[in-house]
Structure 1
Amino acid sequence: MQALIIIGHGSHLNAESSAPVYAHAAALRATGAFDEVRECFWKEEPSMREVFDLVEADEVYVVPLFISEGYFTEEVIPRELGLTGPAPSVTDKAGRTVHYTKPVGTHPSMAGMILRRAEESAGLTHDEARQAGLIIIGHGTERNSNSAEVIYRVSREADEAGVFGRVRTGFLDQAPEVDAVLEEMEERRVVLVPFFVAEGWHTQETIPDDLGINRPAISPVTEKDGRTIFYAAPVGTFPEIAQIVLQRAREAGARIPGGIVIAEAAGV
C-alpha cells in the first residue's frame, strides 16, 4: 500500500488557510492513485506529529504545500515528522518508508501555470496579454533569502516566455515593494498574482488596501489612474496544484500510472 500526506501551514485565526490543502487532497483522493490520502498541518489539526497514526500504508509520500524551501520545509517538518533530513529524503520509520519531497512552489511547471491563470483571470487574449504587465507578488522576508529566490526565478521564467509584455516581482516585506513596482508599470492592463498558498489576511486585505484596489470580495478588477488592474487568486488555490503534488510524489518513486490526470488540472 502507498499513502500520500499533504502538509499545510494552517492557521488558528483563518479557516481559509487550510482550504487549498483539503481541496487538493480531495481531488487526488478521487483519482485512486493512492490507497490513502491524508492532510496535516503545523497550526491546525490533524497535526504533523499525529498524522502517521492515521496512515496504514507502509510506503508514504509526504508533499509540503509550501511556496519555497526554508525554515518550515527544511527544519520544522523533518523535526515534527521525525525524518532524517530535508527534502529529498527517505526515512525508515516504524516499519514504514517515508519519502519526503520538495515543496510544490519550487516545481518547474509553476511559471507556466501562473501565466495561464493570469491570462484566464483577466480574460485576456494572447495579443492583449503581450501588451499587458504581470506582477507576481511574494511575501518576502529579510531572514530567509530562499523565500524570495523562488519568486524571482518564477518571475524570470515567466518573463522569458514572452506571454506578457513585462513581468515583474513585488514583495510585502522586502524591496522591491509591490506598490512601487505597480507604480512603475506603464502598461494599461496589469495582472497581479499573489504567490501565496491560500486566501488570507494578506491576500484579501493587506495587498488590496496597500495598492488602493478593490478587495477580492468586492471585485477582482479595478479601474485606477487610467489603467485596468486585475487581481487573481493566490497560486496555491489553482486546481493545477493537485497535479503538481502528484508529480512530486511520482518523482519520489510513487507508483502512479502515467495516464492519471486530474481533470481540472489537465493543463499542467
Structure 2
Amino acid sequence: MDTRFRSATLILAIHGSTEDTRPEEAGNSLAASIRSKGIFGEVKAAFHKHTPLLLDSLTQANGKLVIIVPMLMSKGYFTEKVFPDAFQLQATPGVAFPWVSIFEDKKVIYAGPIGLHPGMESLVIESADRVLKEHPFPVKVSLSNASIALIGHGTSRHVKSRESVDKLAAKLAMNSEKCQEVRTFFIEEEPAIEAIYEWNTPSKNVVVVPFMLADGPHAAQDIPVALGQTEKELKRSLKQGTSTWRNPTERHEKRIWISPPVGLSPLLPDLILEYISSEISGLLMD
C-alpha cells in the first residue's frame, strides 16, 4: 500500500440499523481488522442510522486526506444521494467513482460502493462453500453439486440498484466448475425470494447467499420468513440468540442452506484494501 495512506483517515460508511446491533458490530469489527494492519493513520466505522454518524466522522477526522468507502453492495439511491448528502459532499451522478471533494480543510475521496469490486465473486463462493462445510448433516454436499441463490436488496427508487448483483451472478454463472447454477432474487424487486422454490435447479441443493454487509434484519429475518420460516419460530430464535434458519432445511423439494452475508467473509478486509490501492492511489495529493 502507498505510504501516504499512513496520515489518511479511512471511513467505512455503513447504513446501520436502529433495530439490530449486528450491523454495527460487523462494521466495528471490520474497521478494527483494517486498523490492526497499521496502514492508515485512522480507521473509522460510521453509520447513517445511528452514531457515530457519517458527518460527525468526517468533521472529526484527524487526517487531511479522508477516504470514504461506502459499505454498500450496489450503485443507487444511497450511494449516489443519501450518503453524499449526509457527508455534505457534492454528488456527481453519472460521473465514475471515485469522486473528489473538499470538505473544510480536508481532501475527501468518495469511493464507489464496495459491492462493485470484482473480487466480490470470491466472497460469494467462500460464503457458500463455508456454510456447506459447516453443516454437512444429514448429507454432505459440495458446492459443485449445489446452486447459489444470490439475494440482493433492490429498490424501485433507482434503476441501478440491482445492476451489480445481476452482473455478479452472470460472472459466477460462467464459472460452472464452482457450482451448478446462479440466479438473483430480491427483497424489494422481482424475482422475489419466494421464487427460489419455483427455480428448476439441476439438484435440490440451493445455497442462499445474502449479498449484504451484515447479519441484520434483512439477512436474519426477511430472508428466512420469505422462505417459509414462521414468525413464531423467528421470534423464538431471536429471543434465544440462535440462528433463525436451520441449515439445511427441506421445503418444496429443495434443500436450502442460508450462508452468512458476504460482508462477514474473512476475505473482505483485504478486498477493501486492494480496492483502495488500485482505485485511489492515483488521486493522492503529493
TM-score by length of 1: 0.87
SS of the residue corresponding to residue 11 of structure 1 reads coil
Partner-residue secondary structure (3-state), 1:252? helix
Q: Secondary structure at the match of 1:92?
A: strand
Structure 2 partner of 1:247: 274
Shift in Å, 1:73: 1.3
Q: 1:206 to 1:93 in 2, by over 3 A?
A: closer
Q: How far apart, in 2, do the equivalents of 1:233 and 1:208 lie?
A: 12
C-alpha spacing 1:76/1:174, structure 2 compared with 1 (3 Å): closer
Deviation per CA, 1:16-75, whole angstroms, max 9, x where unpaired? 122221111000000000011112111111111211232211111111111111111111
Does 1:150 pair with 2:161? Answer: no
**Secondary structure at 2:160's aligned position in 1?**
helix
Q: CA shift at 1:218, angstroms?
A: 5.2
% identity of equivalent residues: 29
Partners of 1:52 and 1:173 in 2: how far apart? 31
SS at match of 1:145: coil
Q: Cα distance 1:254–1:128, how it changes in 2: closer, same or farther (>3 A)?
A: same
Flag the 1:21–1:55 CA change in 2: closer, same or farther, 3 A: same
1:56 match: 62
Pair 143,78 (structure 1): closer, same or farther in 2 beyond 3 Å: closer
- Residue 155 of structure 1, CA deviation: 0.6
In 1, distance between residues paired with 2:91 and 2:218?
A: 31
Structure 1 segments of 4+ aligned residues over 4 angstroms from their partners? none
Shift of 1:84: 3.2
Per-residue deviation, 1:226: 4.9
> How far did 1:138 drift?
1.4
Q: Letter of the aligned partner of 1:177 in structure 2?
A: A
The letter of the residue matching 1:149 is E
Summarize the Cα distance change of 1:185–1:134 in structure 2 as closer, same or farther, 3 Å threshold: farther
Match of 2:111 in 1: 101
**For residue 143 of structure 2, what is the amino acid of its counterpart?**
A
| 1:33-48 mapped onto 2 (5 Å cutoff) | 33-48=39-54
Aligned equivalent of 2:145: 131
Unmatched runs of 5 consecutive residues or more in structure 2: 1-6, 235-242
**Are 2:147 and 2:207, in contact at CA under 8 Å, matched by a contact in 1?**
yes
Query: Letter of the aligned partner of 1:142 in structure 2?
Result: S
Out of 179, 182, 198, the position equivalent to 1:167 is: 182
Say which is worse superposed, 96-105 or 231-240, in terms of deviation. Answer: 231-240
Amino acid at match of 1:253: S
Cα pair 2:197 2:252 within 8 Å, conserved: no
> Which of these residues, 184, 203, 210, is aligned with residue 194 of structure 1?
210
CA RMSD of aligned residues (A): 2.3
Number of residue pairs the alignment of both structures matches: 254
2:95 is equivalent to residue 68 of structure 1: no
Counterpart in 1 of 2:240?
none
TM-score, normalised on structure 2?
0.81
Unaligned runs of 5+ in 1: 257-268
